[in-house]
Amino acid sequence: MAIKAGERMPRGTLKKMTKEGPKDLSTDELFKGKLVVLFSVPGAFTPTCDAKHLPGFVQLADQIRAKGVDTIACMAVNDVFVMNAWGKASGVGDRIVMLADGNGDYARALGLELDAKGFGMGTRGQRFALIVRDGLATHVNVEAPGQFKVSAAEYVLGQL
């Protein structure tokens, strides 16, 4: 069952790249006491994700943070090295935290996994955006198949 607004975020561990190399990041570290926008893409470097989804959050990061958001995080079922390379290639700098859900465990915990085997991509995460206040999902925006509307940076900015 997919997470709904008003529910607590499940516990889990994601990975992020640091200067010292890959590091585990618990969801407690990510969400506790913070206002977080977590958006998920089916895959790094894939067409809509690379051309629209991530760039939208990079472009609007300052406006989103001005609404009190502590962290903007991008999650994908990719490894930490791919997420790091995509962040560098997209010029995210310190505006977006690039999070790897390498085995899709967190996407599954959210109930937002995606069967992308038909595209040769295995199991991935759906395209979505969540607004999370101190571990509580206040907004859950999950895209319909093939759509890109409710998880876009502009839409999320309007909800803050």
List the chain domain ranges: 13-154
- Can you tell me which residue has the tokens 């969540």? 130
Name the catalytic one among 14, 49, 72, 98.
49
Cα-flanking dihedrals φ and ψ of residue 87, to 5°?
-60, -45
Q: 72: Cβ–Cβ under 8 A, 6 or more apart, which residues? A: 36, 37, 39, 57, 61, 64, 65, 95, 96, 97
Whether residue 71 has pLDDT greater than 80: yes
User: What's the pLDDT tens digit per position in 80-113?
Assistant: 999 999 999 999 999 999 999 999 999 999 999 8
Q: pLDDT band for position 117 (50/70/90)?
A: confident
Distance CA 35, CA 136 (A): 9
Structure tokens at 131: 């607004």
**Which pTM does this prediction carry?**
0.93
- Specify the CATH architecture of the domain 13-154: 3-Layer(aba) Sandwich (3.40)
Q: Give the DSSP per-residue string, 86-141.
A: HHHHTT-TTSSEEEE-TTSHHHHHHT-EEE-GGGT--EEEPSEEEEEETTEEEEEE
In this structure, what token pair is assigned to residue 121?
A: 């991509």
> Among residues of the chain, what percentage have pLDDT more than 90?
82
pLDDT for res 116: 66
Annotated active-site residue 74? The verdict is: no
Amino acid at 33: G
Give yes or no for residue 51 having a pLDDT over 80: no
Q: What is the mean pLDDT of residues 58-74?
A: 97
Residue 119 has a pLDDT of 75
